[in-house]
Structure 1
């Protein structure tokens, strides 16, 4: 069992922006953040994340809650699984207890194994020679904690000698069970590269074979601790530089990252043997950096860069592509001392949209009219995935590359976008101001209840009733807390707001009574006098006690 005190301490460490931002691409929106809601078929950003209130809320489907609720709903996890997931994310060590309430120790299998691999490198001259041959300095090997995984039995013996069960090795993806139930280590005779989460927790390994194994590189398998589609190698070391330089270089391999850091490009990271995916976007866009995709100039690298360009441009990410030619990658260029050339490449990436259009057009024989039409159709389909202003900015470039008159490259006009929020009317704003102020300052509730009844609320009667019923977690109240255009007043300002609310309410009643045909002349005159008395006091800034018109 997870210790309850440990869970409470974890909650204090959680930041809703970091948690949601590790899954979804957040955009700053005033004091809050917005993104597309993952809990329904959202077509525009409907989910708001509040750092001050530490909650999220979708204004379309009503989903909302705190960090724990978000991860539970997003990953479909149980409560204990969610707590462990969040602890991994923020590098927090949970305390566990037995059924008898006795605390269990933190096992730290990955950290212990990593130290073993690092020590093995010192005892493996040919592995050190390999690193030296690739230009990796001892300082870089130490910085990136490069190690060496020996024969399978040696790793298994080490884990066993430290008291780790095979089930623990399997859980963390460093061991497995093969045919005939024979255990084996996943990393055998490989240089090892520890892989950390953004919060600096060791979650997996990459390994480069030094034997004749057909798989040159392998990574840890997918586990509850390791998801390669959400991780970037070297990010924990690069993030400070990324935030400072407002730039991130994404490469294809471990050695590229290490050598670029060695050369001073400390904002370099790498994907883990996989293409960029939507799951990478929240991590890549943290700090709103310019993104430079730096891939090999072979067919595989160009195709990967094209897919990355589609993905990143669709998310409105600024930056571009750098391709390396002559059979050289970033690590080779550093090793050959080509720093000026590297600096120039990283300063002048080809913008994602321009790169994508150019590569799409290059696939076709433009001397063939049919092929030219296909190129136009494909390019226009891509442009239509982008905002209209950006589409129109690139139609000229596309017509030039295709050799077509610009009138033939047209973007169809878009239907006007529906506004996220309806325009609030006067009484709507007053009602919301009163509700939000009480939600934020419950001690002011008596001031309100002496003068206002829920029946007075025209637009937000239900929300005010929920407030009086103390249903504070209800989605309709949670969303009011997150509406930035609704202010929270102090007591003096609240009273002024209530005066305006009450004056508006009684003025409407005054007009209704004046035109009411079912009332007798005497009753009508009596009500008019009573309401006029109230309105006179309200004009002077004085609150008046609530009386139902029907009982006057």
Structure 2
């Protein structure tokens, strides 16, 4: 079993926004983050993640919990499996009470990378290639570039260092086929791929001996998912947040050369097009996104796909396509730093780029083809917000040379719901504020219970009772905890004033009820009236009174 101390140490490292944001795209919403709930089908986001409280809650289906609960529900894992998955992602070594299990996967990747780096220093062909491409020794060290030898040498190293073939296959550095094991990286320059926290999760490899595939990456593993990772993001993230800009290229060498030239906000996709799974990572820090792709047909197609995705997802930024067989690495090598600077400052905006590329695919001298271009472009505009649709319909009309009245976009796809049919449960904000105070300041519970009893609350007795019982993982309480519209009372004096106001109203109502009662004797009624009047008097003097049934 995993030790409790180990679990608590891992929890202390976890950040709910990072964990949930690695699975779904989160958007900043005040102090919290919101998204459509991944656990039920919905159009309006009701899923809230609170970084302050390190919990999530869906106001639609009631799902909620901490980072571990989210991974359990999303990945359909048991509690120990979710713990081990998160430990692997955060490069955290778990301790087990039976001492039979050890987290060796990240150790294997670290050791193998050291081995590859050492081999590079003795391989003149690989060093010559890197030098020819303009890569400095300092960059070789910074990015951990190495060299993978033959399959037999790699397998021998793994076994000599007391790692099993099963562990090597699990982390993607080895494979097994037809009864034989093999190394996945053979006679290649290696580029370690890091998670955002700086731990190695896989490798990329570039052949220098004529293998059919120029580049290969680690296969999908529990640690490595190329659709959620960006090469060198761990090196670039600080600059990305400072400059509010991220440059996305197509290759490792482009990134390394751009970093050499001072563009330390550059990253690269890992042999795949930009996908929706990349968006949570791109959303961090809310940077403008610059797609810096080759100008060939493949690069242009990838840029078009990415631009559609990013613009529909609300990202700002644009596209640069490099022509003349050049790429960012070539421009750095040729000393065209200022030219690059100008390009990165003024990329072609995503929406304009998409519209232009759509139109370029048609012969608009032909009226029928022009109509096709118009229909396709309108279809694209409808993926954008109503405001952007209205703004860019004039750009589209101008590019096609047609009257803007032909560009019919947002009016028919604005959807309004019939609020009359929705039954919203009654909420009392004062009671909810009191409950949130209990959740955030449990040291004030005694003061509250001296003055009131759960039975005198009209709308949220159950939630209040759960809160004072410490059952904070109940969905209703998590909903209250993450609701920014509910304000807790921050100190004794503020709470006292609120309790006094509430109790004055409460005892005034009780006074009226007693006056109207005919089922009790006169003496008892007189006693109750005097008692309630006395409480009201003390409250009006600013004194809290003890609750008596």
Cα–Cα, structure 1 residues 445 and 240, in superposed 2: closer, same or farther, change >3 Å?
closer
Aligned to 1:48: 48
Q: Distance in 1 between matches of 2:339 and 2:542?
A: 72
Distance 1:385 1:237 in 2: 33
Match of 1:144 in 2: 143
In 2: Cα distance, 1:3 partner to 1:435 partner = 34
C-alpha distance in 1 between matches for 2:542 and 2:378:
62
Which string of whole-angstrom CA distances, capped at 9 and with x for unpartnered residues, describes residues 296-323 of structure 1? Answer: 1112111111111111112211111111
Moved more, 33-42 or 61-70: 33-42
CA contact (8 A) 1:243 1:287 kept: yes
2:496 aligned partner: 495
Deviations 1:202-239 (Å, cap 9, x if unpaired)?
Answer: 11111112233221111011111111111111111112
The partner residue of 1:275 within 256, 260, 273 is 273
Q: How does 1:461-476 map to 2 (within 5 A)?
A: 461-476=461-476
CA distance in 1, matches of 2:275, 2:57: 25
Partner Cα distance (2:513, 2:406) in 1: 61
The answer to whether residue 21 in structure 2 is matched with residue 24 in structure 1 is: no
Pairwise CA distance, 1:56: 1.6
Q: CA–CA distance in 2 between the matches of 1:209 and 1:70?
A: 40
Partner of 2:155: 156
Please state if 1:334 is matched with 2:335: no
Please report how far the alpha carbon of residue 40 of structure 1 lies from its aligned counterpart in structure 2 after TM superposition.
Answer: 1.6
Partner of 1:80: 80
Q: Measure, in 2, the Cα distance between the counterparts of 1:162 and 1:469.
A: 52
Query: Residues 370 and 11 from structure 1, CA distance in 2 versus in 1: closer, same or farther, beyond 3 angstroms?
Result: same
1:38 paired to 2:44: no
Give, in whole Å, the separation in 1 of the partners of 2:268 and 2:301: 17
Separation in 1 of the partners of 2:51 and 2:264? 29
Q: Which residue in 2 is equivalent to 1:373?
A: 371
Structure 2: gaps (5+ residues): none
Q: Which residue number in structure 2 is paired with residue 94 of structure 1?
A: 94
Give the total of aligned pairs.
Answer: 542
Where do residues 76-475 of structure 1 align in structure 2 (5 Å cutoff)?
76-96=76-96, 99=98, 101=99, 106=104, 108-179=107-178, 181-410=179-408, 411-412=410-411, 414-416=414-416, 428-475=428-475
Q: CA deviation at 1:454?
A: 3.2
* CA drift at 1:520: 10
Q: Deviations over 1:393-424 (max 9, x none)?
A: 211111111222122223216245799x9999
Deviation at 1:24, TM superposition (A): 2.8
Q: Are 1:88 and 1:201, in contact at CA under 8 Å, matched by a contact in 2?
A: no
Quick one: structure 1 residues 405 and 105, their matched pair in 2 at CA, closer, same or farther if it must change by over 3 Å?
Answer: closer
Q: Which moved more, 1:199-208 or 1:124-133?
A: 124-133
1:225, 1:486 → 2: CA distance?
39
Q: Report the 3-state secondary structure (helix = DSSP H, G, I; strand = E; otherwise coil) of the residue aligned with 1:321.
A: strand
Change (3 A) 1:379 1:513: farther
Equivalent pair of 2:94/2:103 in contact (CA under 8 Å): no
Partner residue, 2:5:
5
What SS does structure 1 have at the residue aligned with 2:411? coil
2:514·2:525 contact (CA, 8 Å) conserved in 1? Answer: no
Q: Could you say if the C-alpha distance between residues 478 and 418 of structure 1 is closer, same or farther in structure 2, counting changes exceeding 3 Å?
A: farther
User: 1:508-527 counterparts in 2 under 5 A?
Assistant: none
Secondary structure at 1:346 match in 2: helix
Counterparts of 2:155 and 2:188, CA distance in 1: 15
Structure-2 separation of matches of 1:41 and 1:545:
48
1:171-213 CA-to-partner distances (Å, cap 9, x unmatched) read 111111122x011111111111111111111111111122332
Question: What per-residue deviation string (whole Å, max 9, x for no partner) do you get for residues 20-61 of structure 1?
Answer: 222233333333222332122232332222222221222222
Give me the CA root mean square deviation. Answer: 3.0
The C-alpha deviation readout for 1:338-386, integer Å capped at 9, x for no partner, is 2222111111111111111221222223233333333233222222222
The answer to which of 199-208 and 240-249 deviates more is 240-249
Cα pair 2:149 2:188 within 8 Å, conserved:
yes
Distance 1:102-1:402 versus aligned 2 partners, 3 A rule:
closer
CA contact (8 A) 1:96 1:105 kept: no
Preserved contact between residue 17 and residue 49 of structure 2 (Cα < 8 Å)? yes
Q: Note closer, same or farther for the CA distance 1:368–1:540 as it changes in structure 2 (3 Å cut).
A: farther
Q: Does the 8 Å CA contact 1:513/1:524 hold for their aligned counterparts?
A: no
Deviates more, 1:58-67 or 1:266-275: 58-67
Matches of 2:524 and 2:350 in 1, distance apart? 72
Q: 2: CA distance between counterparts of 1:207 and 1:6?
A: 35
Q: Deviations over 1:421-453 (max 9, x none)?
A: 99999x812111211112223343343334434
Describe the superposition over 1:130-168 as per-residue Cα deviations: whole angstroms up to 9, x where unpaired.
222222222222222221112111111221222222111
Distance 2:26 2:396 in 1: 31
Deviation at 1:468, TM superposition (A): 4.8
